[in-house]
A and B are shown apart, each in its own frame.
Chain A
Amino acid sequence: MTIYPPANVLVQKKACSVNPLKSSAPLGAAMAFMGMDRCQPLFHGSQGCTAFGLVLLVRHFKEAIPFQTTAMNEITTILGGIDNVEQALVNVAKRAKPALIGICSTGLTETRGEDVAPELRLIRQRNPELQNTAVVYASTPDYVGGMQEGWAKAVSAIIEAFVPARNQAAPLTPIRGQVNILAGVHLTAGDLEELREITDAFGLEAIILPDLSGSLDGHVPDTYCGTSYGGTSLEDVACMGASVATLAFGEHMRKPAEDLEAKTGVPSRLVLNATGIEGCDRLMVMLSEISGRPIPPRFRRQRSQLVDAMLDAHFHFGGKTVVMAAEPDLLLAYSTLFNDLGAVIPLAVSTVSTPSLQRVPAATVQIGDLEDLELGAKEHHADLLVTHSHGRQASARTGIPLYRVGFPQFDRLGSAHRATLGYRASRDIVFEVGNLFIEAMPNHLLRHGHDEHGDHSVHHEGACGCPGTLEASHGCSHSASC
């Protein structure tokens, strides 16, 4: 493991972003809204933004995505789009009867400087059709930040709109064992399932906001549903003030956590990273403190499995050169894990400069795009590229294998279920990536060299460390020389 000083974060100097790493902020917000129960995300902007966002989410999740648009055109943009918002709300409420409509603005409406939030109350008063539909608005101009930032703004907006402020005179009685979890965009549906199991095991009842594991976990509902089907309910959101603690996952959830704490007085803690052994350990200790219970045996076992995985895999990670590109909090998760195992990260590329990047164990952190990643990969003779599916072109051109992480992953199945959080998921990642390294190994090394290192230490019997009896189990095929 290399100990790096706080990373040197280089700003982007190019005028032209080539092969963008970033997706847009409104898309992040809309995805967060998809983690709300029976929700209809609505883009306030021109139709194209919605269509692109929708297609990208469909390709990633392989699920129907019910995004709608306020259908702004040039004229309505100049004159102001409140009428369009009103019409859209009424139409959506009538047709899909959602519990919640989550509006996110776009570059177009923000450039004109339109503020929708104050109008919403008036719109509701004018339209009784909206009686049973809650509405929330997040301001997410396309030209500020990426998905991570948009996601965080949507979560803040939900907290602002639906969590009741603490009543000083009659504060809520905290519900024992109830905790809030503010999930960052870097966590998958699979992560949230994992997290729920973990908190359950500590006897904690978690309200997860937003909860993609309820809606975009790829299940088959019994009836047709035109909104999100599952996710955090508004009732749950309203109860968040009665929790004993809030855990916010990812630096980008710091602001929503502060908002929630300011409003409710529920103390919050930040989990910067829960991938890799140290991050998991910290999470365990935190949950143990909050619940007042010891860490359950099953996690002790899982930790031990992770340790063993790291022991077996370090042969393959050690000295490998890896370049990666991801949004800051996801980047922190993966880079930490890789660095733990001895991989060297000469270059990590990210979307926006945030405090998380300071902690990324890489020689250089560049705010940039996948061209930067590709050039860096060539310059440093990388063994592995780590980024989302758009890295496939760089991988094809350079011949360097690609390990897909984050969003979007449109050329893989099951991306929503791949977890990164906790001992168990960390162990699986170690194996997956280790296997990629093994696969890339030249055949002669495979037969006589590194891949049997793990066994050398244990059964040092044959000349090549390959006892005949173990052949079948570890795939050694050179029995003649044993």
Chain B
Amino acid sequence: MLKQKLADVFNEPGCEKNQAKSDKDRKKGCTVKGLTPGAAAGGCAFDGAKIALQPVVDAAHIVHGPIACEGNAWDNRHAASSGPELYRMGFTTDMSELDVIYGGEKKLWKAIKEVIAKYDPPAIFVYQTCVPALIGDDVIKVCATAAEKFGKPVIPVNAPGFAGSKNLGNKLAGETLLDYVIGTEEPDDARPTDINLIGEYNLVGELWQITPLFDELGIRIRAGITGDARYHDVACSHRAAVNMLLCGQAMMNVARKMEERWGIPYFEGSFYGIEDTSASLRTIARLCVQQGADADLIERTEALIAREEARCWERIRSFTPRLQGKKVLLYTGGHKSWSVISALQEMGMEVVKSSVRKATDSDKSKALELMDGDAEALVGAIPNPEMYRMLRAGEADIMLSGGRTQFVALKARTAWLDINQERNYAYAGYDGMVELVRQMDKAVNNPVWQRVRRPAPWDADFTGFDA
């Protein structure tokens, strides 16, 4: 079962990268190339699946496995809910040694029963993990029996950690939705302005930076797949008019198969950065009209974009006096980093280096253009010691990066802003870009840097106190 699924998700025809590969490479899959022993670890497939499904906020999410998988990780994801809180609770079979010896299926069955009796959720997602997968617990069978017995959806998520990376887990989560959820209920209020956002998880509530724009245009989010989602909405999501696929290619399979099965057109877009937000809104409007929405939607969208862009740039420029001349080290995967670069330059900030580790060629050339062709400013991976040296030497005033390098910056006593997943602020849409700038101002202009960088009285370079 799992093997088949793996072959299936690896062979994603909608994926550009995959299409460029030879047959042999394609068989190898896109993620198993994987990890070197002794390297720092990323999340496992189970983690990826949970990230992708847990935002179904009214469902219960049971993790079948020993304590490691849920005990160390529950309530650590920042997907936000506008209502139910059940998704934040940690449910796990917490397998003991005896369960490992005698098999955990019975315990899982009882766990499902208990959760239904106590919390009566509209649906339960059951996550397979490494140890029960290794001893052959048949989660799919247990779920099928439970669904029948209890008369509600009990959905097996067969993405044990050792199957691969977080990214693979996202895809397997998508397959799960296609196999068990999407299309299983019918809405009674379908409209040509209903859209799904696929691969959007409402992290730190950033969906809500976009929804006012949709509201104004009369566009309705049928389902976030799965940001701030209710189970029922995802089950009905096959009646949406348009699918927008966010966040790289992780849930490409969902968008493509929904097009195949229900004829829903999809496009890939993003709400990070001004240009992308506008482009996404435009495409949504165009596709909705194509699906039967009133043609004036396009004009209204253009008007909204013009107004919001102007307002956004104006607000960003208001930070110029505080940010002009500040030096930035931009250390992201490089995907769409040009859009951040252009905003930084708008305020007169200087991007000293920008990493392009995972950037596409078109990302790279756009970035290069913005950096006036300075190829040396576009770098690959910077090893931590070198990054520390740069920051300690003051080559940048602030680093924008993901959580992994947070302490390299802080220990080098340099301002740092998280622009990846585990951040505390939402940066989506026009408001998000302004928020990013505001956070940057707050970080880099904090007087703390002067204080903590001063030598101690016993240091050789101590030059006395201020007058």
- Residues of A that sit less than 8 Å from B by CB: 14-20, 22-24, 26-27, 42-43, 45-56, 58-59, 63-64, 66-74, 77-78, 84-85, 87-92, 95, 106-108, 111-112, 141-144, 146, 220-221, 223-224, 226, 369, 390, 393, 410
Interface presence of B114 (CB below 8 A): yes
Are the CB atoms of A88 and B162 closer together than 8 Å? no
Q: Which of B38, B99, B164, B385 contacts A143 (CB 8 A)?
A: B99
Of the listed stretches B40-48, B282-290, B293-301, B340-348, chain A binds B40-48
Are the CB atoms of B38 and A87 closer together than 8 Å? yes
Q: Which of B47, B91, B100, B403 contacts A52 (CB 8 A)?
A: B47
In the assembled complex, the Cα of A226 lies from the Cα of B413 at a distance in Å of 17
Q: Closest Cβ of chain B: how far from A289's Cβ, in Å?
A: 39
Q: Closest Cβ of chain B: how far from A97's Cβ, in Å?
A: 12
Q: Closest Cβ of chain A: how far from B53's Cβ, in Å?
A: 16
Are the CB atoms of B130 and A90 closer together than 8 Å? no
Given contact pairs A22-B67, A23-B67, A142-B68, A88 touches B100 in the complex (Cβ within 8 A): no
Nearest residue (CB) in B for A69 is B41
In the assembled complex, the Cα of A15 lies from the Cα of B146 at a distance in Å of 15
Q: Which residues of the partner chain A approach B97 to less than 8 Å between Cβ atoms? A: 141, 143-144
Are the CB atoms of A18 and B66 closer together than 8 Å? no
In the assembled complex, the Cα of A144 lies from the Cα of B44 at a distance in Å of 22
Are the CB atoms of A73 and B89 closer together than 8 Å? no
Nearest residue (CB) in B for A19 is B90
Are the CB atoms of B131 and A48 closer together than 8 Å? no
User: Chain B, 50-70, contact with A by CB distance < 8 Å: what is the 0/1 string?
Assistant: 000000000000100111111
What are the 7 A-B residue pairs with the smallest beta carbon separation, nearest first? A48-B44, A91-B38, A16-B111, A15-B110, A88-B38, A88-B37, A224-B388
Are the CB atoms of B72 and A27 closer together than 8 Å? yes
In the assembled complex, the Cα of A322 lies from the Cα of B364 at a distance in Å of 59
Kindly identify, within residues 70 to 106 of chain B, every residue whose CB is under 8 Å from any CB belonging to chain A. Answer: 70-76, 85, 88-97, 99-100
Interface presence of B375 (CB below 8 A): no
Nearest residue (CB) in A for B94 is A17
Are the CB atoms of B35 and A69 closer together than 8 Å? yes
Q: Which residues of the partner chain A approach B389 to less than 8 Å between Cβ atoms? A: 224
Most buried by A among B45, B67, B115, B135: B67
Most buried by A among B44, B66, B107, B160: B66
Interface presence of B22 (CB below 8 A): no
Most buried by A among B100, B135, B160: B100
Are the CB atoms of A71 and B44 closer together than 8 Å? no
Q: Which residues of the partner chain A approach B113 to less than 8 Å between Cβ atoms? A: 15
Are the CB atoms of A84 and B37 closer together than 8 Å? yes
In the assembled complex, the Cα of A221 lies from the Cα of B411 at a distance in Å of 7
Nearest residue (CB) in A for B76 is A55
In the assembled complex, the Cα of A164 lies from the Cα of B364 at a distance in Å of 57
Contacts A107-B100, A111-B131 supplied; 12 other A-B pairs, CB < 8 Å: A16-B93, A17-B92, A20-B71, A20-B94, A47-B41, A54-B40, A71-B41, A88-B38, A106-B68, A143-B95, A143-B100, A390-B74
Given contact pairs A16-B92, A46-B161, A224-B385, A68 touches B41 in the complex (Cβ within 8 A): yes
Nearest residue (CB) in B for A15 is B110
Are the CB atoms of A22 and B94 closer together than 8 Å? yes
Q: Which residues of the partner chain A approach B35 to less than 8 Å between Cβ atoms? A: 47, 69, 71
Are the CB atoms of A107 and B66 closer together than 8 Å? yes
Are the CB atoms of A49 and B161 closer together than 8 Å? yes
User: Chain B, 121-137, contact with A by CB distance < 8 Å: what is the 0/1 string?
Assistant: 00000000011011100
Query: 26 A-B Cβ contacts within 8 A?
Result: A18-B89, A20-B94, A22-B67, A23-B67, A24-B71, A46-B161, A48-B44, A52-B43, A52-B47, A53-B68, A59-B76, A71-B34, A71-B41, A73-B34, A73-B163, A91-B36, A92-B38, A108-B130, A112-B134, A143-B66, A143-B96, A144-B97, A220-B452, A226-B384, A390-B90, A393-B89
In the assembled complex, the Cα of A131 lies from the Cα of B16 at a distance in Å of 46
Q: Which residues of the partner chain A approach B262 to less than 8 Å between Cβ atoms? A: none
Given contact pairs A15-B110, A143-B96, A23 touches B71 in the complex (Cβ within 8 A): yes
Most buried by A among B41, B44, B88, B118: B41
Most buried by A among B38, B111, B384: B38
Are the CB atoms of A74 and B115 closer together than 8 Å? no
Interface presence of B144 (CB below 8 A): no
Q: Which residues of the partner chain A approach B412 to less than 8 Å between Cβ atoms? A: 224
Are the CB atoms of B67 and A47 closer together than 8 Å? no
Interface presence of B39 (CB below 8 A): yes
Q: Closest Cβ of chain A: how far from B35's Cβ, in Å?
A: 4
Interface presence of B150 (CB below 8 A): no
Q: Which residues of the partner chain A approach B70 to less than 8 Å between Cβ atoms? A: 20
Q: Which residues of the partner chain B approach A22 to less than 8 Å between Cβ atoms? A: 67, 71, 94
Interface presence of B407 (CB below 8 A): yes
Q: Which of A43, A92, A142 contacts B67 (CB 8 A)?
A: A142
Are the CB atoms of B32 and A73 closer together than 8 Å? yes
Are the CB atoms of A91 and B94 closer together than 8 Å? no
Q: Which residues of the partner chain B approach A58 to less than 8 Å between Cβ atoms? A: 403
Q: Which residues of the partner chain B approach A70 to less than 8 Å between Cβ atoms? A: 37-38
Q: Which residues of the partner chain A approach B422 to less than 8 Å between Cβ atoms? A: 55
In the assembled complex, the Cα of A144 lies from the Cα of B111 at a distance in Å of 19
In the assembled complex, the Cα of A46 lies from the Cα of B43 at a distance in Å of 9
Are the CB atoms of A74 and B94 closer together than 8 Å? no
Are the CB atoms of B162 and A220 closer together than 8 Å? no
Interface presence of B165 (CB below 8 A): yes
In the assembled complex, the Cα of A20 lies from the Cα of B68 at a distance in Å of 10
Q: Which residues of the partner chain B approach A46 to less than 8 Å between Cβ atoms? A: 44, 130, 161-162
Interface presence of B242 (CB below 8 A): no
Q: Which residues of the partner chain B approach A18 to less than 8 Å between Cβ atoms? A: 89-91, 115, 118
Interface presence of B408 (CB below 8 A): yes
Nearest residue (CB) in A for B40 is A68
Nearest residue (CB) in B for A392 is B75
Q: Which of A16, A24, A69 contacts B66 (CB 8 A)?
A: A24
In the assembled complex, the Cα of A89 lies from the Cα of B36 at a distance in Å of 11
Nearest residue (CB) in B for A62 is B407
Q: Closest Cβ of chain A: how far from B384's Cβ, in Å?
A: 6
Are the CB atoms of A89 and B38 closer together than 8 Å? yes
Nearest residue (CB) in A for B37 is A88
Q: Closest Cβ of chain A: how far from B115's Cβ, in Å?
A: 6
Q: Which of B37, B69, B130 contacts A71 (CB 8 A)?
A: B37
In the assembled complex, the Cα of A85 lies from the Cα of B118 at a distance in Å of 44
In the assembled complex, the Cα of A220 lies from the Cα of B454 at a distance in Å of 13
Q: Closest Cβ of chain A: how far from B107's Cβ, in Å?
A: 5
Nearest residue (CB) in B for A370 is B90
Are the CB atoms of A51 and B162 closer together than 8 Å? no
Are the CB atoms of B91 and A16 closer together than 8 Å? yes
Q: Which of A15, A52, A69, A72 contacts B73 (CB 8 A)?
A: A52
In the assembled complex, the Cα of A26 lies from the Cα of B108 at a distance in Å of 23
Are the CB atoms of A91 and B71 closer together than 8 Å? no
Given contact pairs A48-B46, A89-B38, A107 touches B89 in the complex (Cβ within 8 A): no
Given contact pairs A52-B72, A111-B134, A69 touches B39 in the complex (Cβ within 8 A): yes
In the assembled complex, the Cα of A67 lies from the Cα of B68 at a distance in Å of 15
Q: Which residues of the partner chain B approach A390 to less than 8 Å between Cβ atoms? A: 74-75, 90
Q: Which of B75, B111, B130 contacts A107 (CB 8 A)?
A: B130
Are the CB atoms of A24 and B72 closer together than 8 Å? yes
Are the CB atoms of B165 and A24 closer together than 8 Å? no
Q: Closest Cβ of chain B: how far from A241's Cβ, in Å?
A: 32
Q: Which residues of the partner chain A approach B44 to less than 8 Å between Cβ atoms? A: 46-49, 51
